[in-house]
Amino acid sequence: MARLLDIWPNMVEVKDWQQLPNGGARFVCVYKMASVRFEVASEDAEFVVNRRIVSKTKGGVESTIAWDFQPEDGGTRVTIEAEYSVPIPLLGKLAETIVVKRNEREIGLMLGYLKAKMERVEA
């Protein structure tokens, strides 16, 4: 899970990593959103090797993030679906729209970083 730090903008620390019987992981990460740092506990509720990971987080942000991996043209297409609640008391109602837009941008950046990292490994 430490590799998440290489691709996920604004994730600043991963700690307390544990392997789960389903093949996934449980860990705590420290994340920064709109200059506010918070910790979330993440657990892979679903894990299918090379196909799908569904992670659920609790703490500063409640979320469900589904990663789907599909073979495509000799490579892999990665799709991410994220559902989360913006911590309004933490950030304030006026910041909600800005945070949502930033998070959409961050997911795009993360996929770009993942693509570049994987292409370097395969080369």
pTM for the structure as a whole: 0.74
pLDDT at position 26 is 96
Per-residue pLDDT tens over the stretch 80-91: 998 887 666 655
Which residue type sits at 47?
F
Give domain 4-122's CATH number out of 1.10.3720.10, 3.40.366.10, 3.40.50.720, 3.30.530.20: 3.30.530.20
Edge-first strand order for the sheet with 11-19 is 11-19, 25-33, 36-48, 52-59, 63-72, 75-84
pLDDT at position 1 is 45
Per-residue pLDDT tens over the stretch 68-80: 999 999 888 999 9
Question: Which residues is 76 bridged to in the sheet?
Answer: 71
Residue numbers of the chain with a pLDDT score lower than 50: 1-2
pLDDT at position 84 is 81
State the first-to-last Cα distance of the chain, in angstroms, to the nearest integer.
23
pLDDT at position 93 is 56
| Domain boundaries, given as residue ranges, for the chain | 4-122
